[in-house]
Amino acid sequence: MAYFADRRLSRLLDRCGLAVFDMNGLIVDDEEVQLQSVNRTLARFGIAVGEEYWMARCVGSRAEEYLPGILEDGGVDPGSVDVGELVAEKNARYQRLVASRAGELARPGVLALIDHLHRDPGRGLALATSANPEEVASILGPGGLGLMNRFSWVAHGGEVDAGKPDPAIYRLVSEKSGVSPDRCLVFEDSGVGAAAAAAAGMACIAVPNRFTRGQEFTGARFLVDNLTREARVLGVPRRAGT
């Protein structure tokens, strides 16, 4: 039985051999929790990041990538601070907050879609996230959504040197699963994530959230409003190189 009512989405899903999910912002709408964790961590420096800055400079990137820029913009020399300790502190705060709220943060339709795909023996399921393993466990483990057993392959940020839009994380998923990129379908919420999937040679359905809806999704096949069966196509983004 087809999942999506929209035939374009249904055809794209039916053709794939591996469905690949991002996590932060896609499975859980957690950007507000991420921002809260960053601001609590940086409060001792007198730094408070606003939503516009977060959306423009941080969404889709790893903490070790955006924290030095936040410090510098806040008048703090990143070289005078142990950024690694700040990343660990921010991640610990985030994990405590998100584990208790995972159920309410799940985005519309995503749990039903994952369950639908998990029941299909002809298609694999994978997770490709910039998050670390502890963060993945907080959201998808027994204390969170309890979804870890749904994914046959997991690639996390600690396994690649470069974050999105670099395609490394998606190439790693292809290598782990043995499924060629042209048979993979990625679900992403950010512009950099869609760009990473496209650069890896994978089709992508982009599902923006409140923090990413203004981003460019060049390279995605479709832009949709949610992942329910009744998902509406909001647009067909311009393909890369066109």
Range of the domain at 40: 31-102
Lookup: tokens for 230: 């009744």
Of the candidates 17, 218, 27, 16, the one whose C-alpha atom is nearest the C-alpha of residue 107 is 27
Taking the chain, what is the end-to-end CA distance rounded to the nearest angstrom? 35
Give the helix/strand (H/E) hosting 1. Answer: none
Q: pLDDT digit string (tens) for 126-184? A: 999 988 898 899 899 988 899 999 999 999 988 999 889 999 999 999 999 999 999 99
Say if residue 96 is in the same domain as residue 127. no
| The Cα angle at residue 132 between residues 130 and 136, in degrees rounded to 5 | 95
Say if residue 81 is in the same domain as residue 197. no
Q: Do 14 and 2 form a contact (C-beta atoms < 8 A)?
A: yes
Over range 54-66, report the average pLDDT: 87
Whether the model clears a pTM of 0.75, i.e. scores above it, the answer is yes
Domain end marker among 75, 102, 129: 102
Q: Is the pLDDT of residue 240 over 60?
A: no
Write down the pLDDT at residue 238: 63
Say if residue 20 is in the same domain as residue 35. no
Quick one: angle between helices 63-73 and 31-42, nearest 10?
Answer: 50
Say if residue 228 is in the same domain as residue 152. yes
Q: How many domains does the chain have?
A: 2
Q: Is the pLDDT of residue 241 over 80?
A: no
Q: Do 21 and 128 form a contact (C-beta atoms < 8 A)?
A: yes
User: E strands along 106-173, which residues?
Assistant: 124-128, 153-155
Lookup: tokens for 90: 């921010």
Over range 55-68, report the average pLDDT: 88
Task: Work out the pLDDT band at 242, boundaries 50, 70, 90.
Answer: very low
Q: What is the mean pLDDT of the chain?
A: 92
Give the helix/strand (H/E) hosting 175. Answer: helix 168-177
Say if residue 24 is in the same domain as residue 140. yes
Q: Which CATH number goes with the domain that contains 48? A: 1.10.150
Q: pLDDT digit string (tens) for 11-25? A: 999 999 999 999 999
Lookup: tokens for 219: 């390279």
pLDDT > 90 in the chain, percent: 74
Q: Rounded to 5, what percent of the chain is helix, strand, coil? A: 45, 10, 40
Local structure of residue 45 (DSSP, 8 states): G
Q: pLDDT digit string (tens) for 215-234? A: 999 889 999 999 999 999 99
Residue 238: count other Cβ atoms within 10 Å of its Cβ.
Answer: 12
Collapsing DSSP states into helix, strand and coil, what is residue 70? helix
Q: Is the pLDDT of residue 115 over 90?
A: yes
Write down the pLDDT at residue 239: 60
Write down the pLDDT at residue 56: 87
